[in-house]
């Protein structure tokens, strides 16, 4: 199942960014029918009749005719997607079906397409099928479908966003789940082939040598982020590559410098895991005109493999990007599975905690700075908690507190694990353990993994006790044990009962044999 991790650092807020993009997209007004292109070939009389019939029946415009290239039922669902520019940017989609019976298709993120056209017998007119709640029912005998996803129209009507899409010049970007119609029952054994034409696209998947994508229906449930057009660069890591789409050029960095920055950021994951968790990840960089803030917004989607989007101020200077945390935070989400149900105290807590550890371990920050950042965040979280219990704070599930209470819990668990294993194992071993057990996990499996790494059962009892306590209970005592002291001059790190343990947190540690 898919889920989304979203981050906001508060400057500026997403609505402000959205407004900025809205005024800068330069989009043209388009019509609101499902398909507006003229037929490619002369119309046959039967086709003309079909158009007239469908126009009078539902008041919408029929798709371009004659019927699609895919007329026979094949062994794959076959998508042919065309990126078109007139009258506005849009995706025109043909789907050749692999099964002839009645079936239901679905937009995982509904609302972008109102009508899907079903083709059956070549002599019969295409049927206009209404999309209701994102869902469309195909009658028996349907061999292919067509629809149009009006990209610019939707961005204009709803405002730019990570799901609805954004645009700069001729390039467009959006979430696949908004435009890709997929079977409601999305079996991993149902084969999908997808062809794209009209623009250089970046999708989460690597194309086959012939240029198309060979997928399964399960890959379409959360199909990540998609870019059409824009610039491309690549960052190489040991055993992995980042394929990067840049929607518009950055003002003070060339494309190669953007990839260098992302490559160095991704390299910091190797202070937490021995190898990069995926052989290839797609990253979409969306520069926001007139803004110099490096980290405006970031999001990871659980496509297979996951994909990442970053809103970056187009005016950001190289040194500001080097000091940025948002790209690192998003990439650190690659180190844990998708938790079902969504459990931000685990997922956001882990990414927030390891952001500071990775920066210290890689030498990007001195350890004192990492502790200062953690303590500042814990203080923000404690202010938001206002004396409430951990359970109440988790129920509230509101940023930034949920991130920081999650980071505090990550620190507590890391310390417990290191105490239990004489500093030989830590929280990253829990993540390595889970990485070998599938792309999704549950809070219960997380607890079981903690017990497995600790070598004894303690999570359940620990968790039940913590839930009843104030959210940041025990912080001062923990810092004293670790030798972390806040002085008027800043953080001082001193010898203390657990200062060796603290040093093992700040140093690269060995991952377990999972
Ligand atoms: Zn996050």
CA of 328 to the centre of ligand 1 (A): 10
25 versus 207: which is more confidently predicted?
207
Q: Which of 14-28, 207-221, 365-379, 414-428 has the lowest mean pLDDT?
A: 14-28
* CA 75–ligand 1 middle distance (angstroms): 39
Residues 152-177: tens digit of each pLDDT: 999 999 999 989 999 999 999 999 99
Q: What's the pLDDT score for residue 508?
A: 67
**Strands, E, within 141-239: which ranges?**
144-149, 166-168, 171-175, 181-183, 191-197, 201-202, 213-216, 225-228, 231-237
pLDDT band at 101 (very low <50, low <70, confident <90, very high): confident
Going from the Cα of 352 to the center of ligand 1, the distance in angstroms, rounded, reads 7
Cα(299) to ligand 1 centroid in Å equals: 7
Residue 347 CA to ligand 1 center (angstroms) comes to 7
How far is it, in rounded angstroms, from Cα 479 to Cα 500? 13
Any residues with CB less than 8 A from the CB of 464 and at least 6 apart, and which? none
Among all chains, which residue has been given the structure tokens 């202010």? 383
Confidence of residue 15 (pLDDT cuts 50, 70, 90): very low
| pLDDT, mean over the chain | 86
**Mean pLDDT within 396-407:** 97
* Cα 329 to averaged position of ligand 1 atoms, centre (Å): 6
List the single range of 46-55, 140-149, 379-388 with lowest mean pLDDT: 46-55
DSSP string, 452-463: HHHTS--HHHHH
Q: ∠ at Cα 343 (342, 349), nearest 5°?
A: 135
- The token duo for 115 is 């009508």
**CA 121 to ligand 1 center in whole angstroms:** 49
In the reported structure, the alpha carbon of residue 6 is separated from the centroid of ligand 1 by a whole-number distance in angstroms of 6
pLDDT given for residue 373 in this prediction? 97
Element containing residue 440 per DSSP (H, E): strand 440-441
| Confidence tier at 296 by pLDDT (50, 70, 90) | confident
The size of the chain, in residues, is: 514
Gap between the terminal Cα atoms of the chain: 24
Q: In a 3-state reduction of DSSP, which class is residue 423?
A: coil
Query: Residue 166 C-alpha to ligand 1 middle, in angstroms?
Result: 21
pLDDT of residue 467: 98
CA 330 to ligand 1 center in whole angstroms = 6
**Residue 28 pLDDT:** 29
Ordered alpha helix ranges (H), 386-454: 390-396, 401-420, 427-435, 443-454
368 CA to centre of ligand 1 in angstroms = 23
Yes or no: say if 335 and 272 are a contact pair by the CB < 8 Å rule: yes
Distance between Cα 5 and ligand 1 center (Å): 5
Distance, CA 403 to ligand 1 centroid (Å)?
8
Q: Sort strands 225-228 and 127-130 into parallel, antiparallel or unpaired.
A: unpaired
Residue 36 has pLDDT above 60, yes or no: no
Report the Cα 512 to chain-centroid distance in Å: 28
* Distance from C-alpha of 425 to C-alpha of 420, rounded to nearest angstrom: 8
**471 pLDDT band (50/70/90 cuts)?**
very high
pLDDT reading at 33 higher than 70: no
Percentage, residues of the chain above pLDDT 70: 84
- CATH number, domain 26-159+181-221: 2.60.40
Residue 50 pLDDT > 50: no
Q: Which residue bears the tokens 């959210």? A: 471
Confidence label for 132 from pLDDT (cuts 50, 70 and 90): very high
Question: C-alpha angle with apex 144: 138 to 146, nearest 5 degrees?
Answer: 90
Band (312; pLDDT cuts 50, 70, 90): very high
CA of 191 to the centre of ligand 1 (A): 32
Residue 235 Cα to ligand 1 midpoint, Å, equals 22
Burial of 92 (0-12, 13-18, 19+ CB in 10 A): buried
Q: Provide the residue ranges of all domains of the chain, joining segments of one domain with +.
A: 1-22+223-326, 26-159+181-221, 336-514
* 348-366 mean pLDDT: 96
Helix ranges restricted to H, 25-141: 45-58
pLDDT at 507: 85
CA of 305 to the centre of ligand 1 (A): 17
In this prediction, residue 73 has a pLDDT band, given cuts at 50, 70 and 90, of: low
């Amino acid at each position: 199942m898919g889920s989304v991790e979203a981050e906001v650092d508060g400057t500026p807020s997403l609505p402000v960014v959205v407004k900025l993009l809205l005024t800068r997209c330069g989009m043209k007004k388009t019509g609101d029918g499902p398909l507006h292109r003229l037929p490619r070939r002369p119309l046959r009389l039967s086709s003309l009749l079909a158009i007239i019939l469908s126009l009078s029946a539902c008041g919408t415009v029929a798709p371009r005719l004659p019927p699609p290239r895919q007329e026979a039922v094949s062994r794959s669902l076959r998508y042919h997607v065309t990126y078109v520019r007139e009258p506005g940017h849009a995706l025109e989609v043909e789907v050749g079906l692999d099964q002839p019976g009645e079936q239901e298709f679905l937009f995982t993120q509904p609302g972008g397409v109102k009508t899907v056209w079903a083709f059956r017998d070549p002599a019969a007119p295409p049927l206009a099928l209404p999309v209701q709640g994102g869902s469309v029912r195909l009658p028996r005998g349907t061999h292919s479908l067509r629809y149009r996803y009006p990209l610019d129209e939707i961005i204009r009507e709803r405002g730019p966003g990570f799901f609805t899409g954004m645009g700069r010049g001729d390039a467009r970007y959006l979430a696949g789940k908004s435009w890709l119609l997929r079977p409601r029952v999305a079996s991993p054994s149902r084969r999908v082939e997808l062809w794209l034409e009209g623009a250089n696209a970046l999708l989460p998947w690597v194309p086959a040598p012939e240029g198309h994508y060979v997928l399964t229906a399960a890959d379409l449930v959360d199909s990540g982020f998609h870019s059409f057009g824009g610039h491309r660069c690549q960052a190489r890591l040991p055993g992995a590559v980042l394929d990067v789409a840049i929607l518009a050029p950055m003002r003070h960095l060339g494309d190669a410098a953007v990839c260098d920055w992302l490559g160095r950021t991704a390299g910091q994951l190797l202070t937490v895991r021995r190898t990069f968790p995926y052989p290839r990840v797609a990253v979409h960089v969306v520069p926001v005109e007139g803004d110099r803030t490096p980290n405006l917004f970031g999001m990871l989607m659980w496509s297979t493999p996951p994909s990442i989007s970053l809103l970056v101020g187009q005016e950001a200077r190289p040194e500001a990007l080097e000091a940025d945390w948002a790209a690192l935070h998003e990439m650190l989400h690659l180190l844990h599975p998708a938790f079902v149900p969504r459990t931000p105290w685990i997922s956001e807590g882990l990414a927030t905690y390891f952001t500071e550890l990775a920066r210290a371990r890689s030498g990007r920050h001195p350890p004192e700075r990492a502790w200062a950042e953690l303590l500042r965040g814990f203080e923000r979280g404690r202010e938001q908690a206002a004396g409430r219990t951990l359970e109440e704070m988790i129920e509230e599930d509101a940023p930034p507190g949920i991130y920081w209470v999650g980071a505090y819990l990550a620190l507590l668990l890391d310390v417990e694990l290191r105490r239990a294993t004489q500093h030989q194992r830590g929280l990253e071993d829990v993540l390595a353990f889970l990485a070998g057990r599938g792309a999704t996990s549950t809070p219960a499996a997380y607890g079981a993994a903690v017990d497995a790494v600790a070598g004894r059962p303690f999570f359940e009892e620990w968790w039940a006790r913590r839930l009843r306590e104030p959210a940041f209970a025990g912080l001062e005592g923990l810092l004293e044990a670790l030798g972390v002291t806040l002085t008027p001059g800043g953080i001082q790190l001193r010898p203390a009962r657990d200062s060796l343990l603290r040093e093992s947190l700040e140093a690269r540690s060995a991952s377990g044999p999972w």
